[in-house]
Chain A
Amino acid sequence: MPVWTLYGLKRGVATNSWPQGHETTQHGVQGMPRFHPERCKEGCQICADVCLPGAIRIAETKNGERLSLDYGKCVACQMCTEFCPHDAMEKSEDWAFAVSKRADLVWDEALTSLPARELTQKIHSAFGRSLHIRHVDAGSCNGCESELQALNNPYYNLHRLGIFFTPSPRFADLLLVTGTVTYAMKEALLETYNAMPEPRWVMAMGTCAVSGGAVGGGYACGRGVEGILPVDIYVPGCPPNPAAMIQALLLLLNRSTQLVQGGHFAK
């Protein structure tokens, strides 16, 4: 009969220290496409044509046509990076994309030459050290759940950061929402939120929860949490990998800095 304690001890520590030391834990994992406006050619709209969730659009402005890019809708399907004939969309490993203002996910031309500045944030002193999360699946593909479950595996070991999932909304500080918010889940989502004590926070996890993503809209699906609950942190990604999720949770606690501003990723 196996002695599991010994079995575990013999295998040593598997936990990674992310995000300390910024050791990359997701070698090779492709993130959001990087946009190089200087390479983009006018009159071409191939990237917009192959973008299923409509994250890339061609908008008419006073100065002619202009490409608009919203990472809050991006599912990192990499179609634009493969179809752009001018390499204006580049594959990247930029996946730690959590932001506290939705607008920061929208590409802003004015920021092109500036590094994303560090944002000053109010410290949530009550939760600086510990956080209890109630997760609600409001209609996801189960990709986000798979990665959320991974947070408690020995590699990410979320407990080391003082962050826990709790079964009861009564004990929760953060409502973590995945999925597009389907017609049938809307009420259950609101009920869960209403059962939480104040102060409380809401995180939209995954592109579906941020904007509806690739499946948003239609007769049953919804377009994310916005307009239903007040969102404090937006985490696009399809799904965000566990390291990106940790970065987002620490961002909420002001224990990590936002890496994205005006649609620009800086690291």
Chain B
Amino acid sequence: MNGTTELRLSPDELPEVCRTLLAEGARLQMAYAWFPQPDTPEVIYLADKKRLDLFPLLRCRLLDGRRELPSLAAITPLLGWYEREIQDLCGIRFTGHPEPGPLVLHEGAEPPMPPLDPRYQPEEMMPYTPQPWHLPPVEGADVQQLPFGPVRADVLESAQIVFYYVGEGILHCHPRLFFKHRGIEKQFEGLSPLMSVVLAERISGVDSFAHALAFCQAIESASACEVPQRALHLRVILAELERLYNHLHYLGHLCHTTTLKVGEAQGKLFEEQCKQINGTFTGSRFLRGLVRPGGMRRDLDLSGLAEQLRRLEPQIADYMAELETTNSHLDRLLTTGPLPRQVAFDQGASGPIKRASGIQRDLRWSHPYAAYGSFTVDVPVRTEGDAHARSQIRMEEIRASLKLIYSALEQMPSGPVSAEVRPAPGAEAIGWCESTRGSIYHCVHLDETGRLARVKVKSPSFSNWRVFPFTVHDSNMMDYAINEASFGLTMAGCDR
């Protein structure tokens, strides 16, 4: 695949190669399976190394009806969830997995065959009878169990968080997710690349543009298409507008959890103003319906955008300065939900979360796409790893986004905004981008007619939900909401 250096391995070689990769400083990004032939699944592992290095990619075909692989979760824990997902959706078992239960499909879901098997073309929803699910045994005379969700307070996405607690102290936190699993990866099957963008935009509403962008970039790589410079610049601006409203939302939302009411109102007002800017300049508050394989669906007139943002900028700067000097707010953030660097690395933290824990990685900088290569991308980093560090990263990224938007507007080339794309039949490719929440990878495999046979979506919320409980164990109830808000997670992206 484009941008990668590939190794074809037999199942027995996997653990050793994985160890070597880790020793070379690489980190696994994801794993998924697909079916090049209906009875021959292939498992693909993707890793990243240093800046500008090709992504190491491992392929392992399961021949002769074999449906078993050695688990790598003990070597690199972040793969644990990916392996369980493959187990649920593709019917491949991982031997020696430390926590082998179902993950994406709830206990009691009984699809007649693995959902991602191309022979499975469901007319209706799979049979499901809700069943009790496996919780880790936590014992002790005073230990209480609190299942919270899936319908939670406020307007929140559905998820269940199970707490084991004594008094105010949380002993163990066990999120049960994937209530919102919609089977989106399956729904790409058989679609044309153009129509698929509409679907990609709906993986995670608040990352609409980032997902559509990663998807389109994958298709463009599959067809060796040269996207016009103007489109590449527009993509940078739109991706940063998405980051802007999201980060402002989380600053406001964080104030909500620390009960700083005016701070909440102001942050969410900024978010609204940014969404309205999106609406005015692009027709969509969520930046949908803009990007397509080959470029943009239409040209945009962005005159006046810089002025509007420059009017907001000092107000936002002032707001952030006030937050950073409000003792009651800082008191609740400092030392809350600490995530050590090693845990962040091993468990797969992504985006602002990993950068707040000392890992300076950002795909815009390490593997530039769109027009990011033409600009200086600041990659802020903090080492404290607490809720405060995470909010500081967001603040820095707000400043950096504005700077990028201004530069891209100033250097905006004229010319066409789209080129023809003709993906080769049977082609496969990978597209990536750094969304608000972290790295997104879309791996696409096309069939002989140029339609999609398989799309794997690696979403940052899937990565960060896996990490999140590590900051909750052994903390206290009062801090939970603050900590969750500081992670900025979505369920839709995680559950897909």
What residues make up the interface of A, taking CB atoms closer than 8 Å to B? 1-2, 4-5, 7-8, 11, 14, 26-30, 50, 52, 75-79, 82, 91, 134-150, 152-156, 165, 167, 169, 179-180, 182-185, 187-188, 192, 213-215, 217-222, 238-239, 241
The listed residue (B150, B198, B263, B325) touching A188 by CB distance below 8 A is: B150
Contact check, A2 vs B326: say whether CB atoms are below 8 A apart.
Answer: yes
The smallest beta-carbon distance between A200 and chain B, in angstroms, is 15
The smallest beta-carbon distance between A139 and chain B, in angstroms, is 5
- Given the known A-B contacts A79-B198, A188-B179, are A146 and B205 also in contact in the complex, defined by CB atoms under 8 Å? yes
Cα distance, A5 to B261, chains bound together (Å): 9
Contact check, A150 vs B184: say whether CB atoms are below 8 A apart.
Answer: no
Contact check, B491 vs A28: say whether CB atoms are below 8 A apart.
Answer: no
The smallest beta-carbon distance between B216 and chain A, in angstroms, is 14
Contact residues of B: prevailing secondary structure: loop
Contact check, B205 vs A219: say whether CB atoms are below 8 A apart.
Answer: no
Residues of A within 8 A of B382 (CB): none
The listed residue (A142, A144, A165, A219) touching B186 by CB distance below 8 A is: A219
What residues make up the interface of B, taking CB atoms closer than 8 Å to A? 105-106, 109, 111, 115, 120, 122, 125-126, 128, 130, 150-151, 153-158, 178-184, 186-187, 191, 194-195, 198-199, 201-206, 208, 249, 252, 260-263, 265-266, 268-269, 271-272, 275-276, 279-286, 288-289, 297-298, 322, 325-327, 490-493
Contact check, A220 vs B198: say whether CB atoms are below 8 A apart.
Answer: no
- Given the known A-B contacts A154-B269, A183-B128, are A140 and B195 also in contact in the complex, defined by CB atoms under 8 Å? no
Contact check, A183 vs B126: say whether CB atoms are below 8 A apart.
Answer: yes
Residues of A within 8 A of B191 (CB): 52
Contact check, B180 vs A139: say whether CB atoms are below 8 A apart.
Answer: yes
Chain A residue at smallest Cβ distance from B127 = A183
- Given the known A-B contacts A30-B289, A239-B205, are A52 and B283 also in contact in the complex, defined by CB atoms under 8 Å? no
Contact check, B150 vs A150: say whether CB atoms are below 8 A apart.
Answer: no
The listed residue (B125, B265, B322, B492) touching A220 by CB distance below 8 A is: B125
Cα distance, A184 to B105, chains bound together (Å): 9
Cα distance, A182 to B180, chains bound together (Å): 6
Residues of A within 8 A of B180 (CB): 137, 139-140, 179, 182, 184-185
The listed residue (B115, B128, B155, B178) touching A149 by CB distance below 8 A is: B155
Contact check, B156 vs A219: say whether CB atoms are below 8 A apart.
Answer: no
A-B contact pairs, 24 of them (CB 8 A): A1-B325, A4-B263, A8-B266, A14-B269, A30-B283, A52-B198, A77-B289, A79-B198, A139-B180, A142-B206, A143-B286, A146-B206, A146-B286, A148-B155, A154-B265, A154-B266, A183-B126, A184-B179, A185-B179, A188-B150, A214-B199, A219-B120, A221-B125, A241-B285
Chain A residue at smallest Cβ distance from B322 = A2
Contact check, B490 vs A142: say whether CB atoms are below 8 A apart.
Answer: yes
Contact check, B158 vs A138: say whether CB atoms are below 8 A apart.
Answer: yes
Chain A residue at smallest Cβ distance from B493 = A142
Contact check, B208 vs A139: say whether CB atoms are below 8 A apart.
Answer: no
Report, nearest first, the 9 A-B pairs whose CB atoms are least far apart: A143-B205, A167-B153, A153-B268, A30-B283, A4-B262, A220-B183, A141-B205, A29-B279, A28-B280
Chain B residue at smallest Cβ distance from A138 = B158
The listed residue (B182, B206, B249, B280) touching A221 by CB distance below 8 A is: B182
The smallest beta-carbon distance between B85 and chain A, in angstroms, is 13
Cα distance, A134 to B288, chains bound together (Å): 28
The smallest beta-carbon distance between B6 and chain A, in angstroms, is 31
The listed residue (B122, B155, B265, B322) touching A219 by CB distance below 8 A is: B122
